[in-house]
C-alpha cells in the first residue's frame, strides 16, 4: 500500500509539471520584460563608436539615420526608410552605386537591430525555434535558434542566430551568429553587460567574442565553447548617450 501511494505521488507530479514554453512565448515574454515593445512607436538616438544614430518608428513606418564625418571632413548622412536608403553629403543627395547602397543599408540596419533587441525578433521574416534549455555559468537559459525568410529578411537572410534567455527573468544575456561576407565566413558570440533602463527600455552593451581557433567549433556549440574558454574577446559593443522618446 505504501509503495502504491508513493508511485501515485510520482505520477501526479510528473503529469502536473508545466510544459516547456514555445519559442514565440519566450520571445514575447522577453520583449515584455525588456520594455522594448514600446519601440514600435517611439524615437531614439545614441552614439556608437563616435557615430550618431537616430531611430524613429510609427505604425510600421521607420526612419533610421546615421550621421558622421568622412575623411575629407564632409558631413555624411545615411537615411534608411521602408522604401530604401538615400545618402546625403553636405545636405545634398549623393549619387551612389547600388552596391554601395546595399552595403550602407546593411550597416545601418545592423547597428539598429542589435541596439534594440529583442523587439526585432518578432519581425515578420523571423523564424524562431526552441533548441532546449542549457546551462551557462551556473544559470539556466532557453536557447532559441533564429533564421530569416528570403523575402523581408534583408541582404544577410541566410545568416543564423542563437539567443539565450534566462529561464527566470527572460533577460537576453547572450547571443551568437554566423556571417558570410566578401572577406570570409565566421561567427561571433556576444555577452551582455552594463544592462540599464532608459525610459523603461532595457539597453545593453556587449563583449564581442570569436573562436580562438577559426573553424574549430560549430555555431550550435558556441555556448559550450564559451563555457570551456575557447573564445577570445575581439571588441566591445558600447552604446553611449542613449535617449528614448515614447510616442
Say if CB 39 and CB 201 are below 8 A apart: yes
Q: Label residue 225 by pLDDT band (50, 70, 90).
A: very high
Q: Tens digit of pLDDT for each residue in 49-89? A: 999 999 999 999 999 999 999 999 999 999 999 999 999 99
For residue 6 the three cell numbers come to 508513493
Confidence of residue 48 (pLDDT cuts 50, 70, 90): very high
Task: Determine contact, residues 91/75, Cβ cutoff 8 Å.
Answer: yes
Digit-coded pLDDT (tens) for 171-214: 999 999 998 766 567 899 999 999 999 999 999 999 999 999 98
For residue 158, pLDDT beyond 80:
no
Rounded to an integer, the average pLDDT of 79-107 is 96
Cell 581557433 -> residue? 213
What is the rounded distance in angstroms from the CA atom of residue 53 to the CA atom of residue 110? 12
Q: Which three cell numbers stand for residue 54?
A: 537616430
Cα separation, 202 vs 77, in Å, equals: 27
pTM: 0.87
Which pLDDT value is given to residue 20?
81
**What domains can be seen in the chain, in order of their start residue?**
22-238 (2.50.20)
Amino acid at each position: 500500500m505504501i509503495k502504491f501511494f508513493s508511485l501515485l505521488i510520482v505520477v501526479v507530479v510528473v503529469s502536473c509539471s508545466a510544459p516547456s514554453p514555445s519559442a514565440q512565448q519566450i520571445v514575447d515574454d522577453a520583449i515584455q520584460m525588456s520594455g522594448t515593445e514600446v519601440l514600435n512607436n517611439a524615437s531614439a538616438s545614441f552614439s556608437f563608436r563616435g557615430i550618431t544614430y537616430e531611430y524613429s518608428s510609427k505604425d510600421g513606418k521607420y526612419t533610421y539615420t546615421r550621421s558622421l564625418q568622412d575623411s575629407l571632413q564632409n558631413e555624411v548622412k545615411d537615411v534608411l526608410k521602408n522604401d530604401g536608403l538615400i545618402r546625403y553629403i553636405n545636405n545634398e543627395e549623393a549619387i551612389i552605386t547600388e552596391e554601395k547602397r546595399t552595403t550602407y543599408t546593411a550597416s545601418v540596419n545592423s547597428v539598429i537591430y542589435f541596439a534594440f533587441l529583442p523587439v526585432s525578433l518578432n519581425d515578420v521574416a523571423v523564424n524562431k525555434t526552441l533548441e532546449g534549455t542549457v546551462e551557462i555559468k551556473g544559470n539556466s537559459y532557453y536557447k532559441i535558434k533564429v533564421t530569416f525568410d528570403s523575402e523581408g529578411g534583408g541582404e544577410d537572410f541566410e545568416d543564423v542566430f542563437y539567443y539565450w534567455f534566462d529561464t527566470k527573468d527572460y533577460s537576453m544575456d547572450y547571443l551568437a551568429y554566423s556571417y558570410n561576407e566578401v572577406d570570409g565566413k565566421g561567427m561571433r558570440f556576444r555577452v551582455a553587460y552594463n544592462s540599464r533602463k532608459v525610459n523603461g527600455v532595457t539597453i545593453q552593451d556587449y563583449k564581442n567574442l570569436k573562436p580562438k581557433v577559426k573553424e574549430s567549433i560549430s555555431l550550435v556549440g558556441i555556448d559550450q565553447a564559451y563555457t570551456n574558454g575557447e573564445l577570445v574577446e575581439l571588441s566591445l559593443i558600447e552604446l553611449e548617450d542613449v535617449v528614448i522618446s515614447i510616442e
